[in-house]
Structure 1
Amino acid sequence: MENQERELGEKLASYEENLLQKVKKIILAELLGSETQPGDISGKREPRITNFWMSRQKLEPRVD
């Protein structure tokens, strides 16, 4: 019985850790203004941050 309780406790701790990481990724993506895809939140890929950097670039007119 104690082994089963310990295993369930470890599974719960692992689940909580994974959930916390997903929430952190979602919050970070929101703060950076990036677009996320469903796969990003599941942890298979990192959130896309390209729009954040592209929106911060100021395009200067070229003078040749």
Structure 2
Amino acid sequence: MIWAGVAYDNSGNVIEDLERHRAVPVDHKRPMRIIRNGPRPTHNQPAAPAPKRHIVLGRPLRPTETIGA
């Protein structure tokens, strides 16, 4: 558990080196480079329009009552 920036174990003792208690070591590798071998995609075409959507309810909603209106 970490509380106020201080790590504690199950018995309530302060953990000095939290890295020692990790189940899986942290991977500090650099991120993978993206290598594109094919032709670059062209962005001059407009994006496809979003599909028309509607909400299907089990039964119609009752009108809401406003207080003091």
| Greater helix proportion | 1
Q: Larger radius of gyration, structure 1 or 2?
A: 2
| Greater strand proportion | 2
Same fold (TM over 0.5): no
TM-score (norm 2): 0.22
Q: Which has the higher contact order (CA 8 A, sep 6+)?
A: 1
TM-score (norm 1): 0.23
